[in-house]
Copies of this chain bind each other. A is one copy, B any other.
Amino acid sequence: MAAPRVDNAPSRREQILRTAAGLFARHGFHGVSIAELGAAVGISGPALYRHFPGKEALLAELLVDISERLLAGGRERATGEPDEVLAALVDFQLDFALHEPELIVVQDRDLDNLPEADRRRVRRLQRTYVEIWVDTLRRLHPGLDPDAARVAAHGTFGLLNSTPHSGSRAAPDEVAGLLRRMALTALTAL
């Protein structure tokens, strides 16, 4: 009975997750109460426990889902000529950052509010995703130091993920084009 219902539209659950992402992004995990979250989806307080075993579990589901989606997206684009792979990875990460900025924010803000087990799992997923970037960069620039590649990858994430912070009201595709160009240009400096 505790088995997850794999129905095709548990809309409440998803609504809660989406709303939680927004609130956590704005106020931080500890800055959002169960009651507030409930109110934000139109139910109140303890009703959330009909859908999630607890607040931490909710955060865990959010973060695991994000990192799994990033990893899956990365894997889909990992094969081929390194320059094309890199371009695809940049576009993918950029798309994610532009379309779901809350998730980007939550992921690096509240990672350590997770219980140990989930945190380790998320870290593992993230590390694997980064390794795709590292491998691609090293295929493109043979002899590049792995640590340097890792620094470059994280730097590129910072660049591409900067849109949530800049709160730019400029036209989204111009922002996208600019950041893509900056990222690809930066990565020629290796």
Binding site for B on A (CB under 8 A): 26-31, 108-110, 112-113, 145, 147-148, 150-163, 165-166, 168-170, 174-175, 178-179, 181-190
Contacts and interface: CB of A to CB of B under 8 A. Distances in A.
A156 B154 contact: no
B159 A112 contact: no
Contact of A28 (B28, B148, B179): B28
Contacts of A151: 162-163, 166, 168, 170, 175, 178-179
A37 to B, nearest CB: 15
Given A113-B31, A181-B189, A189-B182, A148 B162 contact: no
A72 B131 CA distance: 38
Contacts of A108: 165
A188 B182 CA distance: 8
15 contacts: A26-B112, A109-B109, A151-B163, A151-B168, A151-B170, A151-B175, A154-B163, A155-B162, A155-B178, A157-B158, A158-B162, A181-B189, A182-B187, A182-B190, A185-B185
Given A148-B174, A166-B151, A28 B113 contact: yes
B179 A109 contact: no
A78 B161 CA distance: 27
A155 B174 CA distance: 14
Contacts of A182: 152, 155, 186-187, 189-190
Contacts of A30: 28, 30-31
Contacts of A179: 151, 155
